[in-house]
A and B are shown apart, each in its own frame.
Chain A
Amino acid sequence: MTVARRIAAPLRKIGSLLVSVGLTFLGLTCVTFVIGRVIPIDPVLAIVGDKASNETYERVRLQLGLDQPLLEQYWHYLVKVVHGEFGTSVMTAHPVLDDLLSVFPATLELATLSLVIGVVGGIPLGVYAAVNRGRWQDQLIRFMSLLGYSMPVFWLGLIGLLLFYAKLGWVAGPGRVDVGFDDMVPAVTGLMTIDSLLAGEDEVFWNVLSHLVLPSSILGYLSLAYVARMTRSFMLSQLKQEYILATLAKGLSPFRVVWIHALGNVWVQLVTVIALTFGSLLEGAVLTETVFAWPGLGLYLKNSLFAADLNAVLGGTVLVGVVYIVLNMLSDVVYTLVDPRARGQGT
C-alpha cells in the first residue's frame, strides 16, 4: 500500500512535469530562434561569403527559407530541432548534431567526476564547518571555499598543469587521452573511461583517467567550495530548529543528531544546489576546457562563437537548455524522494 503510494506519487508528478517540460522547451526554441534572427550576422553571408554574386546570395536565401513569414520559419525551425537537425556547422562542415554528440560526452565525463568530487567533499566539509561554527575548523573550511570562489580557474588550471604535469609528472597533460591511444577504443558511450573499460583496454583507461584527474579536480574544487558553503548555511539554520532540541532531549548521539536528522533535512535544500552545480558544469567550463584543450561543449561553443558559426552556437544553446530542463525534471523527482512533504498526498 505505502509502497504503491511511494511509486504512484512520483509517477503522477512525472506526468505533470512532462507538460511543463514541453512548454519550457517551446520557450527555449523560441528564444534561440529569435536570437538567430536578431543577431547581426547574416546567415546567408556566413555561408556564401561576401564575394558571392547577387544570384547566389538570393538562391541560398530561398534555400534557407528566409523569404517565408516569421511564424512559418519558426515552425520549420521547431520541426527541425525536434528531429535533431541544427544544420551544418560552417566551422567543422559536419552536421551540428554530430558535433554536439561528439563533444558533449567529453564534457559530461568531466562534469560528472567534478560533481562527484564537489558533493562527496563539499557536503561533509559543510556539515563539519557548521557543527564547529566559529572555531578554527570552520574558519579553515570557509577560507578554503572562499579561495575556491575567488581563484581564477584558468590560472589554477595553468598552475596545476605546470606543477603536476610538467614538474612532477604525476598526471597526463592536456587533452582527453595521449595521442598514441587516439582511436584505440571504439566510441560506444562517448565517455572514454567507460568505452575503454568496455573494450577491455586497461592501459587506455588509466591514461584517460590520468588526463581526467587534473581538470576534474579543479572544477571539483570549485563545486566543492560552493556545495560546502551552501551546506554550511543550510545546516546552521537546521541546527537551530526545535526538532534538534527534541532529538537531543531523547539522548541521541551528536552523530545521529547531525548526520541523520539535521542533514536529512538539509538534503531537501541541497538537491537544488547540486542540480544547479551540475548544470553549470555541463554547460561546459569554457576556461577549463580551453586550458586543458578538452574537446568538450565549452570549447566547441567558444570556437563556434569566435567563428560566427551560428548553427553551431544555436544548436549548443538548445543542448544546454535541454540539459537544464532534464536536470530540473530530475531534481523534482528526487525531491519527492527526500522530502515526504513534496509527495503531496494527505493522510
Chain B
Amino acid sequence: MTDTLLSVRNLRVVYPGDDGDFHAVRDVSFTLGRERLGIVGESGSGKSTTGRAIMGLVAPPGRITADEMRLGDLDLTRMNEAGFRKLRGKRIAMVLQDPKYSLDPVMTVGDQIAETHRQHVNAGRKAARLAALEMLEAVQIRDPERVYGLYPHQVSGGMGQRVMIAMMLIAGPDILIADEPTSALDVTVQTQVLAIMDNLVRSRGMGLILVSHNLHLVSSFCDRVLVMYAGRVVETCAAGDLANARHPYTRGLLAALPELGHRRAELPQLQRDPAWLEGSL
C-alpha cells in the first residue's frame, strides 16, 4: 500500500448529552489505498458515523477529533466547514442507503447529477447537462436523455441508486464511501449495482469504503475488512481471511450466519462480553 489516499488515526466522534457524552466512534484508525475496504458491524457500532466523520458531516453538537486524518496531502483535522465543502463530491463522495429518500423528490435526477458537476467544475448549463448524460451512460442507464428528465419517484430502486452513484462520481472523487448502498434494493439488482460501482471505482483508481452489516457481501466484495463494535475497530483483516478471524465478536457473528446446504436446527446467539467495550483483545 504505497499509495495511501486516506489515513486516519484515533478518530473519535462524541455527542455531548445530558447524562454524559456519547462516544459514537472511539479511536478508530485505518488507512485506505486504491482498494475496497469494508466496514462491518451491527447497528449503532459507529460504522456510518466513521464514514460521515471523514467527510466532516457530523451534525452539531457532535464533535469530531482525531490525532491524524489525512486525505492525500490535506490535513482534515484542521479543515473548516468551507474547506470540507470543497472536498465533498470532488475528493470524497458518499452513496447513501435508499435512493427513495436520498434524492430530492422535486428535482429531476438529471439536474441533480448536473448540479454536482456545476458545483465543482466551472461549467455552463449545457456542459453540465452533457456531463450528466455521459455519467448516466457510465452507470449503464439506457436512454439517458429520457432518464435525465425523470423525477426520483419515477425511477426504480436500482435505477435510483445508479443515479446516486452517477451524482457522486461525476466530479471525479478519489474516495467513495458507500453506506449500505444495496440494502434497500431488491436482491436481484443488488449485485448489478455493486458491479457497476465496482467497475467505476476500479477503472478510475479510486478507494472505496463499503459500510455494511452484511458479512457475506463485505467478505466477497472487499479487499480488507474492518469489524467495528461499540465505536471501536475490533478486528482488521484481509477479506479472504475473515473466516479465520480472531476476535470473539467477529467469530460470534460468523457463527450466527446460516449457510446454504448446512441445515441447522438453531442458529447460535451472539454472546456479548463487556470486556469488548474496553477494546482490548
Measured CB to CB, the residues of A under 8 A from B are 2, 241-243, 245-253, 256, 260-261, 264-265, 267-268, 338-341, 346-347
Q: Are B96 and A346 in contact (CB under 8 A)?
A: no
A248-B105 in contact given A341-B153, A347-B155 (Cβ < 8 Å): no
A-side binding surface: helix, strand, loop or mixed?
helix
Q: Check: B151 CB closer than 8 A to any chain A CB.
A: yes
Interface positions of B (Cβ within 8 A of A): 55, 57, 85-90, 93-94, 96-98, 101-108, 115-116, 119-120, 149-151, 153-155, 164, 167-168, 171
A340-B167 in contact given A249-B57, A249-B88, A250-B93 (Cβ < 8 Å): no
Is A242 in contact with B98, judged by CB distance below 8 angstroms? yes
Report how many A-B pairs have Cβ atoms within 8 Å: 88
8 of the cross-chain contacts (CB-CB < 8 Å) are: A243-B104, A245-B57, A246-B167, A250-B88, A250-B119, A251-B171, A253-B119, A267-B106
The distance in angstroms between the C-alpha atoms of A2 and B147, with both chains bound, is 12
Interface centre among B57, B89, B120 (most CB of A within 10 A): B89
B98 neighbours in A (Cβ, 8 Å): 242
A338 CB to closest chain B CB (Å) equals 7
Q: Give 15 new A-B contacts, CB below 8 A, not counting A246-B103, A250-B171, A256-B119.
A: A2-B149, A241-B101, A245-B96, A245-B102, A246-B96, A246-B102, A246-B164, A247-B104, A249-B89, A250-B168, A251-B85, A251-B88, A261-B107, A341-B105, A346-B154
Task: Give every chain B residue within 8 A of A264 (Cβ-Cβ).
Answer: 104, 106-107
Contact residues in A for B85 (Cβ distance below 8 Å):
251-253
Beta-carbon contact of B96 and A248 below 8 Å: no
Task: Chain A residues near B87: list those with CB within 8 A.
Answer: 251
Given A242-B98, A340-B151, A346-B154: A251 touches B86 (CB 8 Å cut-off): yes
Residues of B within 8 A of A265 (CB): 104-106
How far, in angstroms, from A296 to B18 measured CA to CA in the complex?
55
A249 lies within 8 A of B106 (CB): no
CB–CB A243/B105 < 8 A? yes
Q: Which of A242, A246, A252, A347 has the most CB of B within 10 A?
A: A246
Given contacts A245-B96, A249-B55, A249-B88, contact A338 B154 (CB under 8 A): no
Query: CA–CA, A260 to B120, complex, Å?
Result: 17
A268-B106, A341-B105 given as contacts; is B150 within 8 A of A248 (CB)? no
A260 to B107, CA, bound (A): 9
Nearest CB of B to A238, in Å: 10
Q: How far is the CA of A16 from the CA of B97 in the complex (A)?
A: 38
